[in-house]
């Protein structure tokens, strides 16, 4: 018996990195996973990874998954993605808002079109998709929404500042801080309707094609990094534990896994250094 047997799951950003790992683990746990991303085939995006690869890996392992190509920055494509997932597998039980778009550009240089697109993917899309799947969840008085955040949501605090801090990540951090506040607000709205809403960030930087590209890690085997499986396990925990234990949690991967006994030791945000999400001052 898997923790998600018979459940319909949507995972965004499932073509590579953390999203692909979440999709694979959720399928191993019996979930029927609708994998959503823009990249269907290898070579369509500069970074390695595709929906065909993620879905193929799941199916080869005996799991159930479908690819859904969608640009979630557009509301109409979010509607279509949810409709396709529902048509394939039935009402939505779990939504993982993982997809992210990151531009490391100082505010003085930030192009307005990229600003709007970044907010559309990182903040508007989780609202669109949450509202769409709540149609199913509220009717059946059950469901889970897991939002994927980042340690970038923790601000730099007061000045004075060292010269190597705060350059280029202001928008991304603000978006993730907003997502964390959105998480707790929505969690409080739907708690008594049987729905759990949570948020988790990596305790350490996860080596992915994206974090390698942005030089946040030296490579996929950077020993300072956190294996993507830990984020997948944290998302699984939050999606499947009773809502009275987790609803409204803004947490970190190794922190929550350690708390629930899923790992024996942990490091990074939430463990070595307490994180407080968007509210740290």
pLDDT tens, 4-52? 999 999 999 999 999 999 999 999 999 999 999 999 987 777 777 799 9
**Half-sphere CA count of 123, side-chain side, radius 13 A:** 18
| Cα–Cα nearest to 151, from 258, 274, 59 | 274
Q: What is the mean pLDDT of the chain?
A: 91
Q: Which of 50, 118, 149, 196 is catalytic?
A: 149
Cβ atoms of 58 and 64 closer than 8 Å: yes
Instruction: List Cα–Cα distances, 249 to 161, 179, 203, 254, 279, in angstroms.
Output: 30, 12, 15, 14, 13
Q: Which of 7, 176, 203, 233 is catalytic?
A: 176
Q: How confident is the model at residue 205 (pLDDT cuts 50, 70, 90)?
A: confident
- Average pLDDT (90-115) is 95
Q: Which of 89, 172, 252, 278 is catalytic?
A: 172
CA angle 146, 194, 24 (to 5 degrees): 30
What does the pLDDT look like over 122-179, one tens digit per residue?
999 999 999 999 999 999 999 999 999 999 898 888 888 887 665 678 999 999 999 9
pLDDT at 213 over 80: no
Spatial CB neighbours of 14, under 8 Å, sequence gap ≥ 6 = 20, 22, 23, 33, 35, 36, 37, 51, 54, 98
- Residue by residue, DSSP assigns 176-242 as HHHHHHHHHHHHHHHGGGTEEEEEEE-SSPPP-HHHHHTTSSSSTT-TTS--HHHHHHHHHHHHHS-
191 is catalytic: no
Instruction: At 105, give phi and psi (nearest 5°).
Output: -130, 130
Cβ atoms of 211 and 217 closer than 8 Å: yes
What does the pLDDT look like over 43-72, one tens digit per residue?
777 777 799 999 999 999 999 999 999 999
> Which helix (H) or strand (E) segment is 60 a member of?
helix 51-60
Instruction: List Cα–Cα distances, 80 to 19, 53, 64, 68, 215, in angstroms.
Output: 20, 22, 20, 9, 34
Q: How confident is the model at residue 232 (pLDDT cuts 50, 70, 90)?
A: very high
172 is catalytic: yes
176 is catalytic: yes
Query: Between 224 and 249, whose confidence is greater?
Result: 249
Report how far residue 201's alpha carbon sits from residue 69's, in angstroms, rounded to the nearest whole number.
25
Token pair, residue 53, equals 């690869």
Q: Residue 281: what pLDDT? A: 35
């Amino acid at each position: 018996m898997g923790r998600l047997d018979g459940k319909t799951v949507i995972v965004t950003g499932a073509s590579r990195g953390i999203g692909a790992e979440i999709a694979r683990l959720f399928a191993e746990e019996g979930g029927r996973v609708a994998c959503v991303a823009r990249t269907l085939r290898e070579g369509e995006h500069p970074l390695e990874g595709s929906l065909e690869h993620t879905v193929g890996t799941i199916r080869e392992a005996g799991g159930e998954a479908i690819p859904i190509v969608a640009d979630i920055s557009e509301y109409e494509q979010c509607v279509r993605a949810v409709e396709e997932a529902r048509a394939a597998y039935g009402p939505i039980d779990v939504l993982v808002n993982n997809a992210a778009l990151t531009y490391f550009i100082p505010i003085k240089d930030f192009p307005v079109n990229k600003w709007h697109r970044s907010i559309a993917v990182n903040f508007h899309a989780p609202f669109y998709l949450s509202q769409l799947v709540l149609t199913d969840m509220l009717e059946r008085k059950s469901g889970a929404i897991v939002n994927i955040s980042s340690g970038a949501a923790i601000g730099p605090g007061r000045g004075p500042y060292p010269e190597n801090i705060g350059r280029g990540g202001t928008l991304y951090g603000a978006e993730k801080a907003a997502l964390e506040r959105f998480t707790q607000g929505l969690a409080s709205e739907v708690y008594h309707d049987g729905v759990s809403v949570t948020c988790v960030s990596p305790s350490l930087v996860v080596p992915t094609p994206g974090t390698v590209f942005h030089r946040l890690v030296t490579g996929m085997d950077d020993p300072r990094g956190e294996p993507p499986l830990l984020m997948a396990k944290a998302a699984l925990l939050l999606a499947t534990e009773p809502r009275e234990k987790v609803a409204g949690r803004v947490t970190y991967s190794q922190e929550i896994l350690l708390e629930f006994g899923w790992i024996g030791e942990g490091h990074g945000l939430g463990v070595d250094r307490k994180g407080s999400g968007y509210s740290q001052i």
